[in-house]
Structure 1
Amino acid sequence: MKRAFNFNAGPAALPLSVLQKAQEQFVDFNGAGMSIMEMSHRSAAYEQVNNETEALVRKLLQVPDNYKVLFMQGGASTQFAMLPMNYLTAGKQAAYVDTGAWAGKAIKEAELIGNTVIAASSASDQYMKMPALDQLSLDSNTAYLHLTSNETIGGTQFKTFPNTGNVPLIVDMSSDILSRPLQIEQYGMIYAGAQKNLGPSGVTLVIVREDLVAASNKEIPTMFRYSTHAKSNSLYNTPPSYSVYMMKLVLEWIDEMGGVDKLAAYNEHKTNLIYNVIDNSDGYYRGCADIDSRSRMNITFRMANEELEKQFVKESEQAGFVGLKGHRDVGGLRASTYNAVPTASCEALAQFMVDFQKRNN
């Protein structure tokens, strides 16, 4: 079987070795005579998977002891609502940084719950540049500051994060978690849907400081409180067990790769292969994002006209490339180069782009 050059934005590429190991254990997990999908989430075998997955998260991101690691359902979209439900209480306001489509969705959910303000925005730059956050001014009644670390649609990414003092910094890292080192102590909470860098869809990673867990709103339904899931070690209700198991395998792969530091260098190298073609094409390919805000996870670019872009997509699909059509809301072209996208795929795309330009210039 020939593997596709998978540049899908999510669900996205998974490491081949992970898929092969999952295949080996699919029917019979560790000699149990059944798949992990068939096991009780109260069994010792599954609890071991749950605990080992948490331990790997703590190891790879150096998570301090005063943070809880949770495996939840509903994707980042559920977190958009859970955050204000838990923390945007009477007399408080929530501050948001508006950087594009995904930040916008989070803002709309918060506005349904309570007083929401825009602390910074890149709307005037058509969301193609991340706003500077070094001069942020947050009121004392601010419950939290929320931002999206990487906008998959626009192809922009924060390179650094602000110091918010006593105001908890909460970040949606769905599309760049574990792609670079983090100082976890800088954040009150991080959350990330798994389907880009952590595994298949179905589970969402939440890393949350214990004081925020304790501050969960007691007047909302039990299922929507962070304290509920922290107290139950992510086993309050039936978890997405197979997705957690797959996350464990991906985390083991990251560990074997040398950890987050090595992945950061790996990602920079392979994305530069594509960015260099764009920058050296004499304008044939035009990068969408401001150079200083370019994402290492989602490379967005345009060509002279939509007809040429359609031809590019058609020919790329014939050559074995998947997922290069831009998001339906903005058009253009996009190559998502998450952790599991191999260098060989990026090399192949870079060569295809060079050849396409020669044939169609």
Structure 2
Amino acid sequence: MERVFNFSAGPAIMPVPVLKIIQKDLLSYQGSGMSVMELSHRSSLFQSIINDAESLLRELMEIPSNYKVLFLQGGASLQFTMVPLNLGKTKVAYVDTGSWSKKAIEEAQKVEGLTVDVIASSKENHYTKNPIIPLVDKEYDYLHITTNNTIEGTVFLNIPTNINVPVVADMSSNILSSSYNVSDFGLIYAGAQKNIGPSGLTVVIIREDLMGQKNQLPAMLDYKVQADNGSMYNTPPTFAIYAAKLMFEWVKELGGVAEIEKINRTKAELLYEAIENSALYRSPVAAESRSLTNIPFMTGKEELDKLFIIQAESKGFMNLKGHRSVGGMRASLYNAFPLEGVKALVAFMKEFEANVGGV
């Protein structure tokens, strides 16, 4: 079957070259007679996989030597709990920019004895424009932000400099798609299912001095325990780590994160230009806050949005339906999404607009 253009927000599209390598290796990895899914996580074959995955990620993100890279499970949602359990002592600060940051706040509030302050929020403008982050002083143990909001379509591409505490970032939807200085953060976490590979893996990048600050944490929720055991305190998501290694190799072959960001900007600009030049479509997001990877748009008429999605699917444009809290359509243009797919979508948008009379 011919592949479709998959605009899913996650699990998301993966590059065909990577999928072909996975297909080739599926029955016997490197002549072992075993699939990667069958390899012991204590085997030399898998140890090489996880070592290579970490080395490649360190190279791609220029991760300093005083940061640990962890390959964990539980999704980014488990990090909503692990972060405050490990780093929160008395008082923490959060920026509310949408659905995922709201969930992170709610989980932090469940940690006994921890005060959670929402120091900035875009709730009043329905999360369509990022708030200004005020000075964050050392009364807080950390500041938590969501760099990219998959549902609302907003992004922080630049991190404020007036923050005097460790910055914790949920980078699930734009890790490796935009360039960030890892040293600006105390901890970065990201679910894999958007730019890193299949679901089931969560990457955590943590500054060493932030680990081991609290005693008697459950072992599975303790960053230091996970780091001391090389991300193998229990059986790790071996297949997802293998796929992540292949994805990291693919990004490197394309020229690294800086080159990927150029490509992503080209894709996003093409779609935003089509929206802005249209009499039918509009973007709900303020121009200065617009994401490069998750782009919501709508016609303003629910029945037209539904018709657009039906006709789009008939032409192989899948998973364009917007999140129920936003409505309309949403195109997720992660690293693996091809430029030709954006060009094809723009052509279809123009065709649809012409057919409905531009109203």
Q: Tell me the alpha carbon deviations over residues 183-241 of structure 1, each in whole angstroms, 9 at most, x when there is no partner.
A: 111100000000001100000010000001232x2222111000011111111110000
Letter in 2 for 1:99: T
Residue 81, structure 1, aligned to residue 81, structure 2: yes
Residue 280, structure 1, aligned to residue 277, structure 2: yes
On the 8 A contact 2:86/2:211 being kept in 1, the answer is no
Deviation at 1:131, TM superposition (A): 1.1
Of all paired residues, the percent bearing the same amino acid is 47
Distance 1:164 1:85, change over 3 A: farther
Give, in whole Å, the separation in 1 of the partners of 2:137 and 2:244.
38
Deviation at 1:331, TM superposition (A): 1.5
On the 8 A contact 1:199/1:250 being kept in 2, the answer is yes
Deviation at 1:125, TM superposition (A): 1.2
On the 8 A contact 2:295/2:331 being kept in 1, the answer is yes
SS at match of 1:247: helix
Deviation at 1:139, TM superposition (A): 4.2
SS at match of 2:55: helix
Match in the other structure for 2:12: 12
Deviation at 1:164, TM superposition (A): 5.0
On the 8 A contact 1:93/1:143 being kept in 2, the answer is yes
Letter in 1 for 2:58: R
SS at match of 1:41: coil
1:30-41 superposed matches below 5 A:
30-41=30-41
1:129-140 superposed matches below 5 A:
129-133=129-133, 136-140=134-138
SS at match of 1:199: coil
Match in the other structure for 1:300: 296
Match in the other structure for 1:253: 250
Residue 322, structure 1, aligned to residue 318, structure 2: yes
Residue 269, structure 1, aligned to residue 266, structure 2: yes
On the 8 A contact 1:96/1:147 being kept in 2, the answer is yes
Match in the other structure for 2:331: 335
Deviation at 1:165, TM superposition (A): 4.6
Q: Tell me the alpha carbon deviations over residues 74-112 of structure 1, each in whole angstroms, 9 at most, x when there is no partner.
A: 0000000111111222xx111000001010000000011
SS at match of 2:104: helix
Match in the other structure for 2:230: 233
RMSD (CA atoms): 1.0
On the 8 A contact 1:97/1:118 being kept in 2, the answer is yes
Match in the other structure for 1:200: 198
Match in the other structure for 2:22: 22
Distance 1:165 1:287, change over 3 A: closer
Give, in whole Å, the separation in 2 of the partners of 1:237 and 1:159.
35
Deviation at 1:166, TM superposition (A): 3.8
Q: State TM-score, norm by structure 2.
A: 0.97
Structure 2: gaps (5+ residues): none
Match in the other structure for 1:190: 188
Residue 157, structure 1, aligned to residue 165, structure 2: no
Match in the other structure for 1:56: 56
- Could you list the structure 1 runs, at least 4 aligned residues long, displaced by more than 3 angstroms after superposition: none
Give, in whole Å, the separation in 1 of the partners of 2:100 and 2:281.
25
Give, in whole Å, the separation in 1 of the partners of 2:59 and 2:210.
22
SS at match of 1:278: helix
On the 8 A contact 1:218/1:225 being kept in 2, the answer is no
Letter in 2 for 1:353: M
Larger mean Cα displacement after TM superposition, 268-277 or 147-156: 268-277
Give, in whole Å, the separation in 2 of the partners of 1:94 and 1:239.
30
Deviation at 1:140, TM superposition (A): 2.7
Give, in whole Å, the separation in 1 of the partners of 2:137 and 2:62.
31
Give, in whole Å, the separation in 1 of the partners of 2:30 and 2:230.
23
On the 8 A contact 1:194/1:202 being kept in 2, the answer is yes
On the 8 A contact 2:136/2:164 being kept in 1, the answer is no
Specify which of 169, 181, 184 is matched with residue 179 of structure 2. 181
Match in the other structure for 2:210: 212
Larger mean Cα displacement after TM superposition, 192-201 or 323-332: 323-332
Structure 1: gaps (5+ residues): none
On the 8 A contact 2:94/2:105 being kept in 1, the answer is yes
Letter in 1 for 2:104: A
Deviation at 1:137, TM superposition (A): 2.8
Match in the other structure for 2:345: 349
Deviation at 1:330, TM superposition (A): 2.2
Give, in whole Å, the separation in 2 of the partners of 1:112 and 1:163.
29
SS at match of 2:203: strand
Give, in whole Å, the separation in 1 of the partners of 2:135 and 2:317.
45
Q: State TM-score, norm by structure 1.
A: 0.97
Larger mean Cα displacement after TM superposition, 5-14 or 157-166: 157-166
